[in-house]
Amino acid sequence: MKQLASFLAIVSLLAMVIVPSVHGQNEEETVAKGLEIAQAAQDVKSGFGNYIAKQVMVLKDRKGRESKRELQVQILEVEEQGDRILFLFEEPRDVRGTALLIHSNEDQPDDQWFFLPATNRVTRLNSSGQSKSFMGSEFSYEDMNPPEVSKFTYKYLRDEPCEDLNCTVSERVPVSKGSNYSRQLVWHDDEAYRVWKIEYYDRRGDHLKTLTVSDYEQYLDEYWFAQTMVMTNHVNGKSTTLNWSDFEFRVDLDEDDFTQTSLRRTR
Amino acid sequence: MSRKLLLLTIGIYLSLTSNMDFANASDDIEFSGTIALEPRWFWDDSLFGSDSRDKGISNSVYVMPEMDAKLTENTSFRLVGFYRYDETDRDRTRGDVREAYLVHYRPTRLGELEVRAGLGRVFWGATESHHLIDIVNQTDLVENPNEEFKLGQPMIHLTLSTESGIFELFGLPFHRQRTFPGPEGRLGFPFLIDTDSVGYESVYDERNFDVAFRYSHTFGYLDAGISGFFGTNREPFFVPNFESDLPLTFSPFYTEISQTSIDLRLQHSGWLLKFEGLRRTGALNRLGNNEDFTAFVGGFEYSFFSLFGTVVDMTLVAEWSFDDRRERATTRFDNDLFVASRVSFNDFQGTTITASVLLGNDNDSTIGSLEFSRRVSERVSVAMELVLLNEIATDDVLFPLKNDSYLEVGLTYGF
């Protein structure tokens, strides 16, 4: 996987050198390059197997008032299929014990089930609700799901410096009509295809939200994971800071830990 | 029964807290719980019963401690106690063990096998308006007339999760009696129920060994389940005690029944379709005659997300319930339409409002409810429930509750 990634990296770097970067690009080339970057970014990220991590969200409104959410997330890669994700809600107290299971599907809506501890009930969620706010934050369910390559069409736009690195800026358009977005702009660095920024444009084409990503750390000598993500909503003036911590990789998790039966065992 | 269970819980709780050695890290044991203040305001005098059922505010408070212990990597123990004190209703002042079970799971050649033993809570079903097929646990009716609250059920529960579905088997060695509001309490019956002189059809009384099974599977966007229950009914028939002294009392009588049921949830582009249906034999109808019956409830849920460009979501629910015994049915849901709207504001406080109405098709009964909930702080939340019962027809099973409309304001603290 790593070899493929570096191969793709070299190919795309060559492409950048050979193709004069400014005017000469035609539509086909920018589309191909956009897809290439997205695929490379996906490839360098895959192979971690599984991990658990802690998420703390700090929600801030226009007046600066804050509210906190705490959850544990468990993620499992499944070959030939999308990821399996389990969110275990811990704070605030009234949602403690609630769990959300997502079976991400490559090119169709995800399957989502909620576990409600008060009645020991597992209930299917309407996955057309991608635009629904995740725990009242500026992240939507759509934003929390892994962006599988097949869920978008791509176009490379330009190069731009980001932090101390050089970034490519690509546009991606969601395939799903149920998406809340008309398009997104994504900043990937050349070095390891890490995402540094995403701009989200709503269905009317207005700039709705910006995600900035920082504090990358490398795990298993290979995988880069960000510790800080800030989602700013330009329309309502609110923002949410998502802090990741306590990563544990390749723990004892398999597909049996992401079923409706295991969901009932989450508390 | 409930006193024994309460003592058992306290015993287990104390022995676990005083003997922490067996799980040598405190990480492996977690204590939490809730305390809530739940006054109810009734603005009309009850149609039947004593002065204590007159209009006014009735205070009530409950505590629900929880403990979760991880014993080994694949074994854990969960304990949930419950105690409520009610100012007016002595029968509502009581304790219960909601859950006290060991759960162990391990991979096998066929799939993952999970074993649960103890007092547990099992939920079967799909729909929102009522839970027709949910039969494993007894209803704690004194808690709330909505039948959503259940007593802990002694059980051994095996679950085998395979590629071709989830197979479950339940052994239920003990029957627990339904709870009812007492003679002083509101939302009660016009007659006295003597739960001390309960009757059973089974010669083993409450110790009849009930069994149940369930098979469920996900087919694409369809979740489907088939369940069966063979044993003592959870719903009693009331037999008058003509031999006893006046006033006349009634004794609950539980027959032996068989119930087979299906439940479906299908998601299709923004719609969730839900259905529950059952066939039950061996139960007594409203007239006290043995009558086999078929009942179902089904409908849809549709959600509007990000309403008018805000973060507010609205979900509409419509369900129709039917019982082929019709006027001889023992429940409210003989031929009724349920319509509800739930609005989630997705704000910091997680504010939600749910309004619902249940309309009788065979009579002019209408039951309305309005629920509101909102967090006040990280640990405190407030919930209000308004239940309107004044439009109930005289031939309705709920007619005795006609004057029992109420507003409950709950304040819950999580620890």
Question: Which of the four pLDDT bands, split at 50, 70 and 90, describes residue B12?
Answer: low
A67, A91, A128 ranked by CB distance to B269: nearest? A128
Does A28 reside within a domain? no
A122, A129, A265 ranked by CB distance to B305: nearest? A129
Can you read off the two tokens belonging to residue A49?
């197997």
pLDDT (0 to 100) of residue B3? 57
Does A11 reside within a domain? no
- Comparing A16 with B81, the larger pLDDT belongs to B81
Could you tell me the CATH number of the domain that includes residue A109?
A: 2.50.20.10
Q: How far is B197 from chain A (nearest CA, A)?
A: 30
Return the percentage of chain B with pLDDT > 90, whole number: 75
B107, B348, B412 ranked by CB distance to A59: nearest? B348
CB contact under 8 A, B350 and A95: yes
Does A182 reside within a domain? yes
CB contact under 8 A, B270 and A128: yes
Please check whether residue B45 touches A, CB under 8 A: no
Question: Which of the four pLDDT bands, split at 50, 70 and 90, describes residue A4?
Answer: low
pLDDT (0 to 100) of residue B278? 97
Domain that holds residue A180: 48-267
Q: What is the average pLDDT across A118-129?
A: 84
CB contact under 8 A, A126 and B306: no
| Domain coordinates in residue numbering, chain B | 34-414
B306-358 pLDDT per residue, tens: 787 777 889 999 999 999 999 999 998 999 999 999 999 988 899 999 999 99
Question: Which of the four pLDDT bands, split at 50, 70 and 90, describes residue A56?
Answer: very high
Reply yes or no on domain B34-414 having CATH 1.10.645.10. no
pLDDT (0 to 100) of residue B20? 46
A212-241 pLDDT per residue, tens: 999 999 999 999 999 999 999 999 899 999
Q: What domain count does chain A have?
A: 1
B103, B150, B311 ranked by CB distance to A133: nearest? B311
Write down the pTM of the prediction.
0.87
Can you read off the two tokens belonging to residue A170?
């690509």
Q: What is the average pLDDT across B31-60?
A: 91
Question: Which of the four pLDDT bands, split at 50, 70 and 90, describes residue A3?
Answer: low
CB contact under 8 A, A111 and B221: yes
Please check whether residue A121 touches B, CB under 8 A: yes
Q: Which residue of B has its CA nearest to A112?
A: B221
Q: A242 pLDDT exceeds 90?
A: yes
Q: What is the average pLDDT across B298-310?
A: 86
Does A109 reside within a domain? yes
Question: Which of the four pLDDT bands, split at 50, 70 and 90, describes residue B253?
Answer: very high
Q: What is the average pLDDT across A60-81?
A: 91
pLDDT (0 to 100) of residue B286? 92
Please check whether residue B107 touches A, CB under 8 A: yes
Q: Using H for helix, E for strand and C for coil, what is the string for B351-398? A: CEEEEEEEEECCCCCEEEEEEEEEECCCCEEEEEEEEEEEECCCCCCC
CB contact under 8 A, B272 and A124: yes
Neighbouring residues of B331: CB distance < 8 A, sequence distance ≥ 6: B130, B323, B397
Neighbouring residues of A172: CB distance < 8 A, sequence distance ≥ 6: A34, A38, A147, A152, A153, A154, A155, A183, A184, A186
Does A151 reside within a domain? yes
B224-240 pLDDT per residue, tens: 999 999 999 999 999 99
B221, B350, B414 ranked by CB distance to A136: nearest? B350
CB contact under 8 A, A121 and B123: yes
Range in A134-138, B257-261, B292-296 with the lowest mean pLDDT:
A134-138
Mutate to test the interface with A, among B157, B311, B413 (most CBs of A within 10 A): B311
